[in-house]
């Protein structure tokens, strides 16, 4: 027997053992991943939390085909939306679908992270055939940062804006939910084995070890303890997931101030409505902490939203979507926000749309 053959046998055994060990580890991760269930929400994914604990179990009402376009403003539209993930993510759930279904308007949505309002206003199509409505939509926590270098206000303009706070705050009543049977279908959360992501299982194990040892993990998501059961369809109803930035928003808002923010939004409105044909609408998607504030155990995390104050300055252009969502949550509507996600469930999108429609019909 040659020395090469004899020396290769230990090497083969080593490789075989390594291969078996790898298969065992991968299989273990996969089996554990099945127990956690496949990923759906951004909060479970980013925060390394289990869908088994926070995944939604109530079927969601989705549109069979999206009724509005995203990304290209190359022709006339009745409504132009400049928005973030509450307007661009998951087209089958979009609030814009309800707007099209109810009013028959054509709607295009542009990503606020890729295009500025000035670019829309300079678009030849906007100049020649302006839309009926332009909607500027932003999630609550990001609004001050989105306005940080835009539409500055001098002291005189700020003083004029301050006088508007005397206007009474608008109140939105509960929205009646409607079925759109010909356009929508109920969809269950996927639990297919093919959707198991081993990287997520690895991160879940590591981050939960850190939470056990250190009390927290280096993720952007926090588990918020609740003082009473919240209307979620997840197994865990005593806690909810939220972005840690939801807690930091108070400092960001305090730095700019609701008066300054409203002044900059009003400057936006003036530019949009300068053509005399386009109506400007300011749409704020409240953070999860704002919507479920009355359920939160930590008193310091309650009442950190400045939306009520902001709406006092901007009642003419700002529908009170926050009040409509909060009202539905208090009435027990499940998954107004998805328990595993920072965004609305189908009922939340529909409530937002119907609140917007009511606002447009009753200026």
Give the residue-averaged pLDDT of 192-200. 68
Q: How many CA atoms lie within 13 A of 91 on its CB side?
A: 14
Whether 67 has a pLDDT exceeding 70, the answer reads yes
Domain CATH number, residue 99: 3.40.50.1110
Whether 156 has a pLDDT exceeding 50, the answer reads no
Poorest-pLDDT segment among 92-106, 149-163, 202-216: 149-163
Whether 57 has a pLDDT exceeding 90, the answer reads yes
Whether 235 has a pLDDT exceeding 50, the answer reads yes
Residue 15: predicted pLDDT: 58
pLDDT digits (tens, 9 = 90+) for 1-50: 455 555 567 756 655 565 655 555 555 555 555 566 777 889 999 998 98
Residue 66 pLDDT class (50, 70, 90 cuts): confident
Residue 40: predicted pLDDT: 83
Whether 213 has a pLDDT exceeding 60, the answer reads yes
What's the total number of domains in the chain?
1
Between CA 327 and CA 30 the distance in angstroms is 41
| DSSP code at position 31 | H
Question: Does residue 245 lie within any of the structural domains?
Answer: yes
Query: Which residue intervals of 148-256 are DSSP H helices?
Result: 155-162, 198-214, 245-256
Structural domain boundaries enclosing 135:
60-188+238-361
Whether 129 has a pLDDT exceeding 80, the answer reads yes
Question: Does residue 341 lie within any of the structural domains?
Answer: yes
Mean of the per-residue pLDDT values of the chain: 85
Residue 208: predicted pLDDT: 79
Whether 146 has a pLDDT exceeding 70, the answer reads yes
Question: Does residue 242 lie within any of the structural domains?
Answer: yes
Question: Does residue 26 lie within any of the structural domains?
Answer: no
- How far is CA 17 from its chain centroid? 47
Percent of the chain residues past pLDDT 90, beyond the cut: 60
- pTM assigned to the model: 0.86
Poorest-pLDDT segment among 54-68, 141-155, 314-328, 332-346: 141-155
Whether 349 has a pLDDT exceeding 70, the answer reads yes
* HEC assignment per residue over 46-67: HHCCCHHHHCCCCCEEEECCCC
Question: Does residue 279 lie within any of the structural domains?
Answer: yes
Question: Does residue 323 lie within any of the structural domains?
Answer: yes
Question: Does residue 344 lie within any of the structural domains?
Answer: yes
Beta strands of the chain (E only): which ranges? Answer: 60-63, 69-70, 79-83, 107-111, 133-139, 184-187, 221-225, 239-243, 279-285
Between CA 220 and CA 207 the distance in angstroms is 12
Residue 363: predicted pLDDT: 65
Q: How many CA atoms lie within 13 A of 186 on its CB side?
A: 5
Question: Does residue 173 lie within any of the structural domains?
Answer: yes
Between CA 330 and CA 217 the distance in angstroms is 31
Give the residue-averaged pLDDT of 146-161. 66
């Amino acid at each position: 027997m040659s020395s090469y053959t004899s020396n290769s046998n230990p090497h083969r055994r080593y490789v075989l053992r390594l291969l078996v060990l790898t298969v065992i580890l991968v299989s273990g991760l996969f089996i554990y991943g099945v127990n956690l269930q496949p990923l759906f929400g951004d909060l479970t994914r980013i925060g390394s939390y289990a869908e088994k604990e926070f995944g939604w179990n109530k079927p969601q009402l989705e549109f069979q085909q999206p009724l509005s376009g995203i990304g290209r403003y190359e022709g006339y539209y009745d409504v132009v939306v400049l928005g973030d993930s509450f307007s661009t993510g998951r087209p089958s759930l979009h609030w814009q679908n309800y707007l099209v279904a109810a009013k028959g308007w054509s709607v295009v949505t542009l990503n606020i992270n890729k295009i500025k309002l000035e670019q829309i206003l300079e678009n030849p199509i906007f100049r020649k055939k302006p839309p009926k409505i332009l909607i500027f939509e932003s999630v609550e926590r990001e609004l001050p940062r989105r306005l940080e270098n835009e539409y500055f206000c001098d002291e005189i303009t700020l003083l004029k804006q301050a006088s508007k706070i005397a206007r009474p705050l608008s109140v939105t009543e509960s929205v009646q939910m409607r079925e759109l049977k010909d356009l929508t279908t109920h969809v269950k959360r996927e639990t297919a084995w093919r959707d198991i992501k081993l990287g997520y299982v690895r991160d879940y194990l590591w981050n939960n070890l850190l939470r056990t040892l250190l009390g927290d993990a280096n993720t952007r998501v926090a588990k918020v303890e609740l003082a009473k059961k919240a209307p979620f369809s997840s197994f865990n109803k005593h806690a909810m997931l939220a972005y840690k930035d939801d807690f930091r928003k108070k400092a960001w808002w305090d730095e700019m101030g609701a008066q300054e923010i409203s002044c900059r939004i009003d400057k936006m409105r003036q530019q949009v409505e300068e053509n005399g044909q386009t109506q400007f609408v300011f749409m704020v998607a409240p953070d999860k902490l704002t919507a479920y504030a009355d359920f939160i155990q930590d008193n310091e995390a309650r009442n950190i939203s400045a939306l009520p104050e902001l709406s006092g300055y901007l009642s003419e252009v700002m529908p009170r979507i926050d009040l409509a969502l909060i009202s539905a949550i208090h009435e027990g509507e499940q998954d107004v926000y998805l328990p595993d996600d920072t965004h609305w469930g189908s009922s939340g999108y529909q409530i937002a749309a119907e609140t917007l429609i009511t606002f447009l019909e009753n200026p």
